[in-house]
Structure 1
Amino acid sequence: MNAEKVIFICLTIAIGAAITPFVTMYTIYEVDRIYRLNNTPIASNITVTIDYGNGTIENHYDLAANTPLKALQLVAVVSIQSSIYGDYVDGINGHFGDTTHGWGYEVNNVSVMDAASDYILGNNDRVLWEYFLFEW
């Protein structure tokens, strides 16, 4: 076996050993997330408010959903970008984010950092979707 093959095999083993914990950790996270979402009861009496940032505000009452994203999808046409961090809402009813504006959400007047597809709603929660200016 020549030196190049030995180096290649050693690098392959080293890279595989370095990546394996991250792949395993991400897989466990995803399995847990999917289990929680599939085994979470649907919350009732959810209110969804959509603030387009231009004076137009829509209110939708008495919805049943287990995540802010599912609640929004009941009342609007939603464009989603998926990433390893979860689903990001980049458009609602044709109103899309750009380099300076985007969509964010609050639950019960508290800003949430979880992806809208991951946050679990409870009965009587109020979800506000707001088109806002990024503050860089």
Structure 2
Amino acid sequence: MIDHLDHLVLTTINLEACKDFYVRVMGMRLETFGNGRLAFRFGNQKINVHVRGHEFEPKAHLPVPGALDLCFIASTALDTVVAHLQAEQWPIIEGPVQRTGATGLIRSVYVRDPDLNLIEISEPLDTSIR
């Protein structure tokens, strides 16, 4: 019945810090849609942004900053991601470590966004060579 995720909604308390992280650090594209709403686009998905206290209806029952735990598959090698995070002086809180993703083994690093959401950035591991 379900094919893929179209978008999710992130609630932030600091829009400028949020935009800086998702655009500069994560490399997503800032997009404006609807009546001035903001989103971060990557691939065929996006993250819509709500500012706490100014959410759009309908919304989650309890929209709070820092409640998300998201995993993104990188479009480049994880070592390149690590180098980029270091160049942007964004702290890695764990990794690289091996985990299990939706389609198999992944190698991941973990960071926190400005709202303290846990962000996992991963690359698939080709287990056929192991």
- TM-score scaled by structure 2? 0.25
Larger radius of gyration: 1
Normalized per residue, the structure richer in helix is 1
